[in-house]
Structure 1
Amino acid sequence: MEDRAIMQVTSNTGKSRRGGFTLVEVLIVVVILGILAATVLPQFTAANNDARESAVKQDLAILRGQIQQYHVDHNGKFPADGETDGTKFADALLLSSSADGTTGAPGTLPYGPYIIGQVPANPFTGARGVRIVTDVPGATPDDSTTEGWFYNPATGLIKANTTEVSSDGSTPVSSF
């Protein structure tokens, strides 16, 4: 069997020192990592915005589909018909209801619930609340942290309450 010796680095003075990284080497690595972060981070940010844009489109498709189903089940009335309180919209979709729109606990009336759990949160603001308006297309988004959606119970129109612009750089997300 061979003896294996541990190598030590010897300086000009003859003293041994341990091998390691110099300050310059560490700084070079830090600079390289900084450059990589600067080039990669914007791609992650863009992917995050694309994901939120897709989520808001999916949430609107679900909400619009369930609003239409409610409309069919309730003889042409939309959820929260005649109401000005956005919580009535949530009640109409989250609870069971009769043909005249009276709500009750899930499973106690013939229709609904149309959404299980809670109204989806607006992916851009995190808000689940609904603001009742008379003109959904004309409603001015304000990025409310409590009201994530604009809804008109007379027409069944709904849109996101956000000032964000889509990934194309020009289309407001609120116009989806």
Structure 2
Amino acid sequence: MRVLGITSERRRCAHGFTLVELVLILLLVAILAALVIPRFTHASKNTRDTSVATTLQFLRGQLELYKSQHGDTPPAVTQLWTVMQQPTTHNGKGVGPYFRATPLNPWNGMTSVSTTDVDTGAGWYYRVNGTQYELHIRDVDGKPDRSY
């Protein structure tokens, strides 16, 4: 059948995809997204966990170095990042700095240090007891994450 010079077969092809074809394509894309997105999310979390563990290992190592160079005394809580980033002296010899930049907590984006058990306004937990210390990263709820 000819309508305005176009055959019905040509007219059918000129209309594009049918609704069923579009639904099938969308369904296929949704299935692929459901399979792929969780893998990237999991990989991203693993990368961040590894980064946190590496950062804490480095910071604790530098705290041990500070202690060994300062008569087995860890830095005070109020001076932690300041003292660790500047050259200091002990028994007349220059030591430090132990790292260049204040470490950023990737969970909450903060750099501040606190000694309280729950503090949503701090990125790090640090407590000194004589020659012993604890350094932990804080989770998004402000609690020290002792799993690293």
* Shorter-chain TM-score range: 0.7 to 0.9
Cα RMSD, aligned residues only:
2.8
Match of 2:3 in 1: none
Match of 1:96 in 2: 87
Query: Counterparts of 2:11 and 2:24 in 1: how far apart (Å)?
Result: 28
Q: How far does residue 153 in structure 1 lie from its aligned partner after superposition?
A: 2.9
Where does the alignment leave 5 or more consecutive residues of structure 1 unmatched?
1-8, 101-108, 134-138, 165-171
Normalised by the size of structure 1, how large is the TM-score?
A: 0.66
- Which structure has greater helix proportion? 2
Determine which of 22, 29, 37 is the counterpart of 1:26: 22
- Which structure has greater strand proportion? 2
Determine which of 108, 128, 131 is the counterpart of 1:153: 128
Q: How far does residue 70 in structure 1 lie from its aligned partner after superposition?
A: 0.5
What are the within-5 Å matches in structure 2 for residues 20-169 of structure 1? 20-80=16-76, 83=77, 85=78, 88-99=79-90, 110-118=94-102, 120-132=103-115, 139-140=117-118, 144=120, 146-154=121-129, 155-162=132-139
Query: Counterparts of 1:75 and 1:45 in 2: how far apart (Å)?
Result: 45
Q: How many residues align?
A: 138
Normalised by the size of structure 2, how large is the TM-score?
A: 0.77
Query: Counterparts of 1:16 and 1:54 in 2: how far apart (Å)?
Result: 57
Deviations 1:93-119 (A, max 9, x none): 11121227xxxxxxxx8221111122x
Quick one: percent identity of the two aligned structures?
30
Tell me the secondary structure at the aligned position of residue 126 of structure 1.
coil
Tell me the secondary structure at the aligned position of residue 64 of structure 1.
helix
Q: Judge conservation of contact 2:108–2:140 (CA < 8 Å) in 1.
A: no
The higher-RCO structure (CA 8 Å, 6+ apart) is 1
